[in-house]
Structure 1
Amino acid sequence: MNDNNINNNFYNNNKDYHVDDNPSGNWHMEDNDNRRIYPTPKLKNEKPKKKKKRLFLKLVGFTAAALVFGVIAGAAASGYHYFFVYENDNNDIVVIDEEARSLEDGSVIELSDEDTTPATTTKIDGIITDVSDIATKVMPSIVSITSTDIITQYDIFFGRQFSKPVEGSGSGIIIGQSDSSILIVTNNHVVDGAEEIKVEFIDDNKVNALIKGADPRSDLAILEVAIEDLSDDTLNAIKVARLGDSEKLKAGEMVIAIGNALGYGQSVTVGYVSALNREVTNQGITMKLVQTDAAINPGNSGGALININGEVIGINTLKFADTKVEGMGYAIPISDAIPMINLLVNNKALEVTEMGFLGINVETARNVSRDLSMQFNMPIGVFVNDIVENSPAEEAGLKSGHIIEGFNDVKIETIDDLLNILTYSRPGDQITLKIRELQNGQYIEKELNITLSARP
């Protein structure tokens, strides 16, 4: 007899054990058996578990359906906004003032003080990808400049001397228009020493231009074009530029450079303001400029650096060119340029004998540079040591120890700045000298009204 039969007989003869009357044939112990130490589990019908599983699946399906519905509804709403609402959203549209700035003799060019919104652009998730609308509106205000200089060369073999014309290219910005002329601002180095200057407008019409005023230190020059030399078509095509406020610029702000790159005609490059108030020294002259990574190439000098409102916020002037350098161009901040532009428009440089006399001893005056300013906590400007007795400066209250930081609206940071602006001032001119005076350990701002006299 095998083990299975023995076991079966044992359980069959033992009253304490029996087989349930169910098809599974499971063995069970009597509930009152003293050998029972834990309840014998009863097999349960598995159908309730299937119901729970089906309920879970239904719950998952309902949740998935809700998510799909939400996605579809959101996409539909976004599509409606994109195709129907965005087209009519004019918050990104600006109408640039296209009226010519009337510039009569003695008038003053000022920053635009009108509230503006960004010009029409194409955006993807807030990123501007198309500035063609801005460029189209500004380009009529930009000109190409060709300057011709005559240089003398020598033939070392035959001892002959001959002259040769050399052309240079640059750009300019139309800043004013009167009944008799168009005024254009450019860099002084674009036209300095030129025998002939030609200006090309947006309609490709070329005319001669004359230098109305130039200042090497600020690298600015004003060109004048006679209205009578322009056709009606050209006059209808050109526009006076809208000038912005470079004091409001921020690093990271998008800018657009427009100019006559390499003399090929107007071109557009886009970049960002990399830094503000960069001190750059060129040919012994230090200037504070706006740094940008918008490409500025030869021929762009004198062109416009504009913001997304279509306003000129800088005059492109130079770039660093080196195998180790990329994307370092510079522009003169328009807010710094305007006071000198007004001087050049309304005045011309005078000989020393014709200049107005202030009465400061420039031999003993000292420049308060940025380094000295930080070291001694002093304002940047011209530190006055000696005043000429009975001079206009003394009579107005200028004293030793005062620091000059402004002449009318022009910033004064060096003695050269002060001498330079005096070359445009005549005897009898009333000027405002902006100074700082040390009081109780602090430099207080003051203004002195002075009438310049003739040189003694």
Structure 2
Amino acid sequence: MRNSQESETDSQQQNMQEPQEAPSEENPYYARTYRKVSEPRTENRSTEETADNTAREPAGEKKNSYSSYQFATPVPPEKEAKKKKNTSGAARKLGFAAACAAVFGLVAGVVFQGVNYVGNQLTPEENTQIAQAQLTNSSTASSDSSSQGSVAQVAANVMPSIVAITSISVQEIPNYYGYFFNYGGGTQEQETESSGSGIIVGQNDTELLIATNNHVVEGATSLSVCFTNQDGTAASSQSDVENTSSDSGSSTDLEGGTAVTAQVKGTDVDNDLAVVSVNLSDIPEDVLNEIAIANLGSSDDLVVGEQVVAIGNALGYGQSVTSGYVSALNKQVSSDDVDGTFIQTDAAINPGNSGGALLNMNGEVVGINSSKIASSSVEGMGFAIPISRAEPILDELMNRETRQKVEDESQAAYLGITCINVTSNTEEMYNMPVGVFVSSVEEGGPAAEAGIQQGDIIQKFDGTTVQTYDNLTNQLSYYQAGEQVEIVISRAEGGQYQEQTVTVTLGAKSDAQSSAQDSQNGQ
């Protein structure tokens, strides 16, 4: 029901829109505006009736029809309805197409996996393949501070690629009884054990190849390697097998892990690099599943201030992790073991870390830890061989023939010379090349037969650089009597040392001892 206020409003609208004619009941405008107050308001019905009355009105009485259209309820255009209907149909078509695409993708994925499975079953791998160490991609972890090239993540990914190396060597020590008690005298031999580290850098059909420093394996009479789990503990075999089927190697379960016999495959004295090999058949299967081959990066991309991680067998206590920064690049260093340019870092590198890995924050090897300089007046400075310089040398060493030390004395080889080391002072004073100075040559011996003379300087033995007498005797211990080797010598001619290569047929050490005994007996 309308109230009095609404009636006044309708009256005002009537005055504004009412035509000049007096209102009458026949006028449609009147029918809408001047209905009784007590009459209920049915706006929709009134509007429809007004439209019908207008339609039935004679042609001569339509002069007021404009007013009735002002109050008619607008009817939506038919075109809009059709448009809405078409939009709904397009949506259904789009949904159907998406469903078809999803079904097709699912079927294609199932078929692809099935083909891969069948292919793997038909073409199984014949050789044992060691897994590749995971990389730590810092660019994809920028939002997570716990994994943004973190030291912990780098260590976990690379630890299975690091090994501990134990070297047994024989050293001659003075016999002091001769000085104090006039008894014995001379020297006596004593076995010593030293520790180092290594990096798994590759494999071939029969061997696992490990990079390390030359000074870690130099002079070793025996080598053993202990592998590492991801958590840094020594990898141990679950089997009770102590020796494998290999004649040249064995694996032993020790308290600190499984120790596997290793052999020196090749060395480079100048660059303090070496490659050690382990027979795959000597490594227990469960240990093989734990280890991984390291990823080699580029030391050329390093910048001063970049964070690095060092992993190694510090002090022989097992693998440990230290972190620091690149302090300097191409640092010239000279020491007893090495002489060249190195990466300097403040990451702690202690005895036993030699041969271990220096890593960037992606988990790539950028250097091989080589030496540590320390004194009472400075903090320790760690140095590593740049991997970009070491990699081609390691590739050449890995392709060499693996040799076993000759244990049978009757088959041991000898050259028939005596020699002394060319010291750094002698080298500078006389402008002599680095090597071993031949002080005497045994008449009729293998060296004399090959043309080696007194005063020559031996620089290489069968492709391996020789810097000291120990280098030469260590290399010779891997060769049998009767083998032919090439020796590079430097000979002074006209005041200048000229390099030349001679071929030597190695003699038997037992024959040399017999000849020496005969000489002493006057025969």
Q: TM-score, normalised by structure 2?
A: 0.45
In structure 1, the partner of 2:479 is: 425
Q: Confirm or deny: 8 A CA contact 1:302 1:315 kept in the other structure.
A: yes
Q: CA RMSD in A?
A: 5.2
Count of residue pairs the alignment pairs up: 306
Please report how far the alpha carbon of residue 444 of structure 1 lies from its aligned counterpart in structure 2 after TM superposition: 1.3
**Which residue of 350, 354, 360 corresponds with 1:301?**
354
Pair 308,229 (structure 1): closer, same or farther in 2 beyond 3 Å: same
The aligned counterpart of 2:421 is 367
CA distance, structure 2, for counterparts of residue 401 and residue 255 of structure 1: 50
Distance 1:241 1:378, change over 3 A: same
Q: Distance in 2 between matches of 1:410 and 1:146?
A: 22
1:348 aligned partner:
405
Q: 1:382 to 1:135 in 2, by over 3 A?
A: same
Identity %: 28
Residue equivalent to 1:177: 203
Compared CA separation, residues 314 and 445, structure 1 to 2 (3 A): farther
Q: Does structure 1 conserve the Cα–Cα contact (< 8 Å) formed by 2:160 and 2:228?
A: no
Show the counterpart of 1:413: 467
Return closer, same or farther for 1:379/1:121 CA change in 2, 3 Å cut-off.
farther
1:395 Cα deviation from its structure 2 partner: 2.1
Distance 1:432 1:219, change over 3 A: same
Q: Deviations over 1:56-79 (max 9, x none)?
A: xxxxxxxxxxxxxxxxxxxxxxxx
Kindly state the Cα deviation for residue 312 of structure 1 after the two structures are TM-superposed: 5.5
Q: Which of these residues, 200, 221, 237, is aligned with residue 228 of structure 2? A: 200
Q: CA deviation at 1:418?
A: 1.4
Gaps of 5+ in 2: 1-126, 130-135, 140-147, 169-192, 237-257, 512-523
Kindly tell me: are residues 121 and 287 of structure 1, through their superposed partners in 2, closer, same or farther at Cα, counting changes over 3 Å? same
> 2-side partners of 1:434 and 1:194: how far apart?
28
Offset at 1:229?
2.2
Q: Could you tell me how far 1:393 is from its partner in structure 2?
A: 1.6
Shift of 1:397: 1.7
Alignment partner of 2:378: what SS?
Answer: coil
Aligned with residue 142 of structure 1, among 161, 170, 173: 161
- For 2:330 and 2:488, locate their aligned partners in 1 and report how far apart those are by CA, in whole Å: 31
Larger Rg: 2
Structure 2 residue aligned with 1:319: 372
Please state how far the C-alpha of 1:183 moved relative to its aligned partner. 3.8
Cα distance change of structure 1 residues 140 and 414 upon mapping to structure 2, 3 Å threshold: same
| 2: CA distance, partners of 1:249 / 1:359 | 49
1:213-232 deviation line (CA, Å, top 9, x unaligned): 36999796847375662449
CA distance, structure 2, for counterparts of residue 450 and residue 277 of structure 1: 36
Shift of 1:140: 6.3
On the 8 A contact 1:350/1:424 being kept in 2, the answer is no
Say which SS state the counterpart of residue 421 (structure 1) adopts. helix
Q: What is the deviation of 1:322?
A: 3.8
Structure-2 residue corresponding to 1:275:
331
Q: Which residue of 2 aligns with 1:61?
A: none
Describe the shift of the 1:372–1:238 C-alpha distance in structure 2 as closer, same or farther (beyond 3 A): same
Question: CA shift at 1:303, angstroms?
Answer: 0.6
Tell me whether 340-349 or 298-307 shows the greater mean CA deviation: 340-349
Kindly provide the amino acid, as one letter, of the partner of residue 403 in structure 1: I
In 2: Cα distance, 1:230 partner to 1:241 partner: 22
1:104-145 deviations in Å (ceiling 9; x for gaps): 9xxxxxxxxxxxxxx9988xxxxxxx9779968982673253
- Residue 73 of structure 1: aligned partner: none
**Contact 2:416 2:445 (C-alpha < 8 Å) held by counterparts:** yes
Contact 1:255 1:305 in 2 (8 A): no
Whether the aligned pair in 2 keeps the contact of 1:277 and 1:289 (CA below 8 Å) is yes
Three-state SS of the structure 2 residue aligned to 1:372 is helix
Distance in 1, Cα, partners of 2:307 & 2:446: 45
* Cα distance in structure 2, aligned partners of 1:176 and 1:419: 28
1:32 match: none
Deviation per CA, 1:66-113, whole angstroms, max 9, x where unpaired? xxxxxxxxxxxxxxxxxxxxxxxxxxxxxxxxxxxx999xxxxxxxxx
Aligned-partner Cα distance in 1 for 2:334–2:301:
13
CA drift of 1:261 comes to 6.8
Q: CA deviation at 1:206?
A: 1.4
Aligned to 1:80: none
* SS class of match (2:472): helix
Check conservation: 1:256, 1:268, Cα contact below 8 A.
yes
Distance 1:436 1:368 in 2: 12
> Contact conserved, 1:289 with 1:330, CA < 8 A, in 2?
no
Amino acid at match of 1:200: T
For 1:351 and 1:169, locate their aligned partners in 2 and report how far apart those are by CA, in whole Å: 27
